[in-house]
Amino acid sequence: MEFFLSSMSTILKGSEVTVNLTVASLFFGAIIAVFVALAQVYGKWWLNFIATVYERILRSIPILIIMFMIFFGFPSFGIRFDPFVAAVISLALRSSAYQSQIFRGALLSVSKGQIMAARSLGMTGAQTFFHISFPQAVRFSIAPMTNEFTIVLKDTSIAYALGVTELLREGTYIVSTSYEPLLIYSMCAAVYFVMTFGTNKFVSLMEKEFAIPGYEVRGLERG
Amino acid sequence: MKLLEVRNLKKSYKSKEVLNGISFDMDKTETVVVIGPSGTGKSTMLKCINRLVEPDDGQILLNGMDVMKARKIEKIRQRIGMVFQDFNLFNHLTVLDNVRIGPLKVKKLQKNVATELAMENLKKVGLTSEAKSYPSQLSGGQKQRVGIARALAMNPDLILFDEPTSALDPELIAEVLEVMRKLALDGMTMLIVTHEMGFVREIADRVIFMEKGEIVESGTPEKIFNAPEKERTHQFLAQFTKFGREK
């Protein structure tokens, strides 16, 4: 029992790093994603082209290769990242590609008529975006984001390969001294499960909280 | 000086000519109604006036200001209200915010001033009680009245109505027309595209009959409805009496 508790506390310490990785990656990913989506929806053809190439490439490369390129490849240009930072950059870049597609879809589901009405009031393009398109697109994005949260959370375990002492690596340390792989890895799995389940519940609460009245149902046709 | 002058307005999409040299003008407080078959460019013409659709050629003057050459079209759009067939309310905002957002964010009025202005205009359309509702909670007629209040709150020189009752169930049309009737009496300058012929007869100072991107003829409702000069106008209006649409 004592072994269980002490292992749990070590694993929980690792899960704090996991949470930090997840939150940082999603946050920076979201910022890049907004620009990628903007370029794809409103950009001139060349901006749209660059954004699309970026998004397609990042969606097609395994996350481990992205991490290795950034962690092992960049030092050859003299840029050296801490493992945690390299992991965040990699996860954020990859997530930005996926998030951009969620946000792009959300932007496109704000009806053209509302945009036209905003312009008819004398709003500039920027005002229309900030007051009309963006607030609605963010809300439309919440539900489809659930999946992305889960994927990023689980993929932080790949930062293990760079030596980041996140949840899985803490678990592995314990295994190497205790020889209890099944128990320890099951505990890690349980922590991932609780975090994923909790996040999903939280996101669906947020979704209800911020829903636009009349547009609450997932996948509802948006007029 | 005329409030609005439109000269030789032209617009085509690809090779299809939609507006083929439209010219007319409007005085202050005048209510002008544009009628004509579907697909003759009436809507496009309205949207060209505030350049939501960019005209290919022609001249538009609002109070003598050249709309086509305006460096900041947003400044001119503030003075031209627009009411849409599909209402186009902002779904994420309450009724109050829908009406207030123009004065608040575009004209940059203080929040309490903008709120007061919004409530005043909601009162004009009889919807102060729905200020806290969201668009999805309103009936079509109520939505369109909010659309009108939103346009009014900018205190425009002119309001363009693009088939304001075409998306409404028949029993909801009257409440919208009633609001528009009141506006006309209050001296608002209105340019209206509609198929509600009974209403046109009653409210219009002048009727313009448009077909295939051109103005066929224009005149007082008496002239257009009772003694049209052109055979085409006569044929068009005959359909309405035939189907009993005209009241």
Model confidence over A53-69: pLDDT tens digits? 999 999 999 999 999 99
ipTM of the shown complex:
0.91
Question: From residue B27, how far is each of B4, B68, B155, B190 by CA, in Å?
Answer: 7, 20, 17, 10
Q: Is B108 on the interface with A (CB under 8 A)?
A: no
Q: What is the number of structural domains in chain A? A: 1
Task: For residue A171, tell me if it sits in a domain.
Answer: yes
Whole-number Å distance between alpha carbons of B220 and B223: 5
Amino acid A157: pLDDT: 94
> What number is the average pLDDT over the span A197-219?
82
List pLDDT tens digits, range B124-178. Answer: 999 999 999 999 999 999 999 999 999 999 999 999 999 999 999 999 999 999 9
A28-37, A171-180, B43-52, B92-101: the lowest-pLDDT one: A171-180
Q: Is B80 on the interface with A (CB under 8 A)?
A: yes
Predicted confidence band at A119 (pLDDT cuts at 50, 70, 90)?
A: very high
- Whether the pLDDT of residue A220 is over 60: the answer is no
Q: Which of B74, B81, B91 sits opposite A124 (nearest CB)?
A: B74
Task: For residue A216, tell me if it sits in a domain.
Answer: no
Output the furthest CA–CA distance in chain B (Å, rounded).
55
Q: Is the pTM of this model over 0.80?
A: yes
Whole-number Å distance between alpha carbons of B17 and A123: 29
Task: For residue A124, tell me if it sits in a domain.
Answer: yes
Q: Which residues of chain B have pLDDT under 50?
A: 246-247
Task: For residue A201, tell me if it sits in a domain.
Answer: yes
Rounded to the nearest angstrom, the minimum Cα separation between A215 and chain B is: 8
For residue A214, list chain B residues with Cβ-Cβ distance below 8 A.
91, 134-137
Residues 6 or more apart whose Cβ sits within 8 Å of residue B15: none
SS3 B31: strand
DSSP state of A217: S
For residue B156, list chain A residues with Cβ-Cβ distance below 8 A.
none
Task: For residue A217, tell me if it sits in a domain.
Answer: no
Q: In which domain, by residue range, is A70 found? A: 2-209
Whole-number Å distance between alpha carbons of A82 and B46: 60
CATH of the domain at A161: 1.10.3720.10
Q: Is A78 on the interface with B (CB under 8 A)?
A: no
Amino acid B241: pLDDT: 72
B window 131-190, beta carbon within 8 A of A: 134-137, 147, 150-151, 154
Rounded to the nearest angstrom, the minimum Cα separation between A129 and chain B is: 12
Rounded to the nearest angstrom, the minimum Cα separation between B103 and chain A is: 9
Give the strand pairing for B31-35 and B206-211: parallel
- Please judge whether A116 and B84 are an interchain contact, meaning their C-beta atoms are less than 8 angstroms apart: yes
Output the furthest CA–CA distance in chain A (Å, rounded).
70
- Cα atoms in the Cβ-side hemisphere of radius 13 Å centred on A157: 15
